[in-house]
Chains A and B, each alone.
Chain A
Amino acid sequence: MKKSILKVLLSASIILSAGLGAFAAVIAEGSTTVLPIAQKTAESLMNANPAMDISIRGGGSGVGINSLLSGRCDIAMSSRAMKDGEKADAAKKKVNPKEYTIAMDAIVMIVHNKNAVTALTREQIKDIFTGKITNWKQLGGADKKIVVISRDGASGTFETFNELALNGEKVSKNALMQASNQNVASAVERAEGAIGYVGLGYIGRKVKVVSIEGITPSIETVLNKKYVYSRSLFFYTNGAAKGAVKEYIDFVLSKAGQDMIKELGFVPLNQGKK
Chain B
Amino acid sequence: MNALKEKVIKSILSITAFASIAFLIGIVVTLFANSLTALKGIDQIQFLFSSDWAPYYSPAEYGILSMVISSALIGITAALVCIPLGIGTALYLNEIAGSAQRKILKPVIEILAGIPSIIFGFFAMAVLAPFLQNIFDLPSGLCILTASLTLGIMTIPVITSIAEDALGFVPIGFKEASYALGGNRWQTLIKVTIPAAASGIITSIILAIGRIVGETMIVLMVAGGSLAIPTSILAPARPMTSTIAAEMGEAAYGSLHFSALFEIGLLLFFMTFILNFISERISKKYRLKLGQGR
A-side residues, CB < 8 A to B, are: 32, 58-59, 144-147, 152-156, 158-159, 162, 168, 170-171, 173-179, 183, 186-187, 190-194
Tell me whether B224 and A176 are in contact (CB under 8 A): yes
What residues of chain B lie closer than 8 Å to A170, measured between beta carbons? 54, 57
B139 within 8 A of A: yes
Min CB distance A201 to B, Å, is 18
CA A162 – CA B159 in complex, angstroms? 45
Provided the pairs A175-B226, A179-B246 are in contact, do residues A153 and B139 lie with their beta carbons within 8 angstroms? no
Query: What 0/1 pattern do residues 130 to 143 of B give for CB contact below 8 A with A?
Result: 10010000011110
Q: A168-B57, A173-B227 are in contact. Are A179 and B250 (CB under 8 A)?
A: no
- Quick check: is B225 within 8 A (CB to CB) of the other chain? yes
Give the residue of B125, B129, B246, B249 whose beta carbon is less than 8 angstroms from that of A177.
Answer: B246
With contact pairs A162-B56, A175-B226, A176-B226 given, residues A187 and B247 touching in the complex (Cβ less than 8 Å): no
- Closest A residue by C-beta to B245: A179
Q: How far is the CB of A167 from chain B (nearest CB, A)?
A: 12
Given A159-B56, A175-B226, answer yes or no on A147-B246 (Cβ-Cβ < 8 Å): no
Smallest beta-carbon distance A199→chain B, Å: 15
Question: Which of A154, A159, A173 has the most CB atoms of chain B within a 10 A radius of its CB?
Answer: A154
* Residues of A contacting B242 in the complex (Cβ-Cβ under 8 angstroms): 177
User: Chain B: which residue is nearest A152 at the CB level?
Assistant: B246
Q: Is the CB of A168 within 8 A of B140?
A: no
Q: Which chain B positions have C-beta within 8 A of A145?
A: 139
The CA-CA distance from A171 to B242 in the complex, in Å, is 18
Chain B, residues 223-267, CB within 8 Å of chain A (1/0): the string is: 011111000000010100011011101111000010000000000
Interface of B is mostly: loop
Q: How many residue pairs bridge A and B at CB < 8 Å?
A: 84
**A162 CB → nearest B CB, Å:** 6
| Contact (Cβ within 8 A) A190 B246 | no
Q: How many Å from the CB of B88 to the closest CB on chain A?
A: 32
Are the CB atoms of A177 and B250 closer together than 8 Å? no
List 19 extra interface pairs beyond A153-B54, A153-B55, A153-B56, CB under 8 A. Answer: A32-B252, A58-B252, A59-B252, A144-B139, A152-B225, A152-B243, A159-B56, A168-B57, A170-B57, A175-B226, A175-B227, A177-B224, A177-B238, A183-B221, A186-B125, A190-B129, A191-B133, A191-B140, A193-B140
In the bound complex, residues from chain A placing their C-beta under 8 Å from that of B51 are 173
Report B's interface with A, CB cutoff 8 A: 51-58, 66, 125, 129-130, 133, 139-142, 220-221, 224-228, 236, 238, 242-243, 245-247, 249-252, 257
Question: In chain B, what residue has the closest Cβ to A148?
Answer: B226
| Cα separation A131 to B285 with both chains bound (whole Å) | 52
Other-chain residue from A59, A174, A183 in contact with B226 (beta carbon distance below 8 A): A174
Most buried by B among A58, A145, A147: A147
Smallest CB–CB gap between B138 and chain A, Å?
8
- How far, in angstroms, from A32 to B253 measured CA to CA in the complex? 13
Closest to B141 in A: A190
Q: Is the CB of B226 within 8 A of A154?
A: no
B56 adjacent to A177 (CB under 8 Å): no
Contact B139 A173 (CB under 8 A): no
On whether the beta carbons of B56 and A176 are closer than 8 Å, the reply is no
Identify the closest chain B residue to A169 (Cβ).
Answer: B57
- A176→B55 contact, CB < 8 A: no
Q: Of all chain A residues, which has the CB nearest B236? A: A176
B226 touches A177 (CB 8 A): yes
B139 close to A154 (CB less than 8 A): no
Name the A residues within 8 Å of B130 (CB-CB): 190
Known: A176-B226, A177-B238. A187 touches B251 (CB 8 A): no
Cα distance, A155 to B54, chains bound together (Å) = 12
Contact A154-B57, Cβ < 8 Å, known A145-B139, A176-B226? no
The closest CB in chain A to the CB of B55 belongs to A153
State in angstroms the CA–CA spacing of A174 and B52 once bound together.
12
Closest Cβ of chain A to B62, distance in Å, is: 11
**CB pairs A–B below 8 angstroms (11 shown):** A32-B252, A152-B250, A154-B55, A154-B247, A168-B58, A171-B54, A173-B227, A173-B228, A177-B226, A186-B125, A193-B139
Rounded to whole angstroms, the CA-CA distance of A254 and B187 in the bound complex is 81
